[in-house]
């Protein structure tokens, strides 16, 4: 077609770039048989408009909408008509239809995201219910075998000899040395609340440290440990969301409690980590960022033969929460009504989690610990 724009009077509104200046557009329209208009009149047939001007409803757009015969189209309509030398039908270029389609696409995408989130919540709740059912119905797989009578007598004699060789009173300072500490850091077994919600995994920080925390308290007389698990989960999808659960594993024969969901899935990281720090402080009397300092101090207390209390390591914050009522700092403090939970960080060169830039001092004696000014 020699003059594809011959029947049309075309106005434009908006900035289409330097190459598509109003002067160039005017020349293209007139060279292809059309008329260029600088204002909207009853003779105008098309308004080529940017999305921004259409959404803002500038004056030319408002005037064009008052005339039903005026087609408000994108620049693509003019460009495709000129390149093909044929007038293109306006339907697929009308801004009103395009913006409605885009809005509908956004709504569909949001609805899909909501369905996905609801599905993840259902999967998470199913995992919780399954764990609760497993914990509620868990029974010992087999009864403990009775020892052979002869062997029992030998064992009793050996125990009697060991008891005779040791002092009759058991001091608190000696208790940690008598406990199987290797089991304290391993956490509960697969039947003790170790469940992971669907589409999630244990959160691992940039250092490679997994936020699957096990706290413990020692029953010296029975040589068993009461444990408390704090776990942060991260979703498999991106951007990630988070969840926090806690599980109490009391002393036997009391069965483990079902996991408590402190934060459901689809929670941002900041509130989850803040709750994690708050729970750790409330249970141990030690701020999370001071866990390694407190652990080293506890080891030095053990070496010095002194019992350890949370003391300076989060004592003021913990006392404000009503957890600990002791006024003694470091080791050597009196027993309080609430025994703090203990935390053992990973050993050796294993990741120990992100730490603030703090100077961790080497402790040489118990007296030095008592004189610390944290």
pLDDT category at 167 given cuts 50, 70, 90 is very low
Q: What is the pLDDT of residue 309?
A: 67
Q: What is the pLDDT of residue 60?
A: 94
Q: What is the pLDDT of residue 153?
A: 52
CB-based contacts of 324: which residues, under 8 Å, 6+ apart? Answer: 285, 309, 310, 315, 318, 336, 338, 340
pLDDT category at 128 given cuts 50, 70, 90 is confident
d(CA 54, CA 64): 11
d(CA 26, CA 24): 5
CB-based contacts of 294: which residues, under 8 Å, 6+ apart? Answer: 284, 286, 310, 313, 314
Q: Is the pLDDT of residue 268 over 90?
A: yes
The values of phi and psi at residue 120, to 5°, are -65, -40
Q: Per residue in 35-77, pLDDT tens?
A: 999 999 999 999 999 999 999 999 999 999 999 999 999 999 9
- Locate the domains of the chain by residue range: 9-93, 171-370
Q: How far apart are the first and last CA of the chain?
A: 87
Give the chain's radius of gyration (CA, Å): 36
Residue with tokens 């030398």: 85
Q: Are 268 and 242 in contact (CB under 8 A)?
A: yes
Q: What is the pLDDT of residue 293?
A: 85
Residue with tokens 């008598």: 178
Q: Is the pLDDT of residue 269 over 50?
A: yes
Pick the more confident residue, 107 or 122.
Answer: 107
CATH class of 9-93: alpha beta
Pick the more confident residue, 292 or 148.
Answer: 292
Residue with tokens 């075998």: 145
Mean residue pLDDT of the chain comes to 75
Q: Per residue in 225-245, pLDDT tens?
A: 899 999 999 999 889 999 999
d(CA 99, CA 207): 46
Q: Is the pLDDT of residue 335 over 80?
A: no
Pick the more confident residue, 170 or 251.
Answer: 251
Average pLDDT, stretch 206-231? 89
pLDDT category at 365 given cuts 50, 70, 90 is very low
Q: How many of the other CB atoms lie within 10 Å of CB of 23? A: 9
CB-based contacts of 58: which residues, under 8 Å, 6+ apart? Answer: 13
DSSP code, position 47: E
Q: Per residue in 14-33, pLDDT tens?
A: 999 988 899 999 999 999 99
d(CA 372, CA 330): 8
**Worst-scoring range by mean pLDDT, 52-61, 270-279, 339-348?**
339-348
**Worst-scoring range by mean pLDDT, 35-39, 126-130, 244-248?**
126-130
């Amino acid at each position: 077609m020699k003059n594809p724009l011959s029947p049309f009077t075309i106005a434009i509104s908006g900035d289409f770039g330097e190459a598509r200046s109003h002067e160039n557009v005017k020349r293209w329209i007139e060279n292809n048989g059309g008329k260029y208009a600088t204002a909207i009149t009853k003779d105008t047939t098309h308004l080529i408009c940017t999305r921004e001007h259409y959404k803002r409803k500038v004056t030319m757009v408002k005037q064009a909408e008052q005339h039903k015969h005026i087609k408000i189209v994108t620049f693509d309509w003019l460009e495709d008509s000129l390149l093909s030398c044929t007038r293109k039908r306006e339907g697929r270029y009308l801004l009103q239809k395009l913006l409605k389609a885009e809005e509908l696409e956004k709504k569909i995408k949001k609805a899909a995201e909501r369905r996905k989130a609801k599905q993840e919540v259902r999967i998470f709740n199913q995992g919780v219910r399954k764990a609760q059912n497993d914990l509620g119905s868990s029974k010992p797989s087999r009864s403990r075998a009775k020892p052979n009578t002869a062997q029992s007598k030998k064992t009793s004699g050996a125990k009697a000899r060991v008891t005779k060789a040791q002092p009759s009173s058991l001091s608190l300072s000696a208790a940690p040395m008598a406990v199987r500490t290797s089991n304290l850091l391993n956490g509960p077994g697969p039947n003790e609340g170790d469940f992971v919600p669907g589409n999630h995994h244990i959160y691992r920080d940039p250092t490679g440290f997994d936020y699957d925390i096990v706290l413990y308290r020692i029953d010296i007389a029975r040589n068993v440990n009461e444990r408390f698990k704090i776990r942060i989960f991260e979703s498999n999808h991106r951007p990630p969301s988070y969840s926090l659960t806690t599980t109490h594993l009391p002393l036997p024969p009391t069965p483990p409690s079902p996991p408590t969901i402190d934060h459901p899935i689809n929670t941002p990281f900041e509130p989850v980590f803040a709750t994690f720090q708050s729970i750790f402080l409330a249970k141990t009397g030690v701020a999370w960022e001071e866990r390694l300092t407190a652990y080293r101090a506890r080891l030095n207390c053990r070496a010095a033969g002194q019992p350890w209390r949370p003391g300076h390591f989060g004592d003021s914050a913990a006392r404000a929460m009503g957890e600990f009522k002791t006024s003694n700092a470091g080791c050597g403090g009196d027993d309080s009504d609430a025994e703090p939970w203990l935390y053992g960080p990973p050993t050796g060169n294993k990741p120990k989690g992100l730490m603030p830039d703090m100077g961790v001092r080497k402790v040489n004696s118990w007296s030095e610990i008592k004189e610390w000014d944290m």
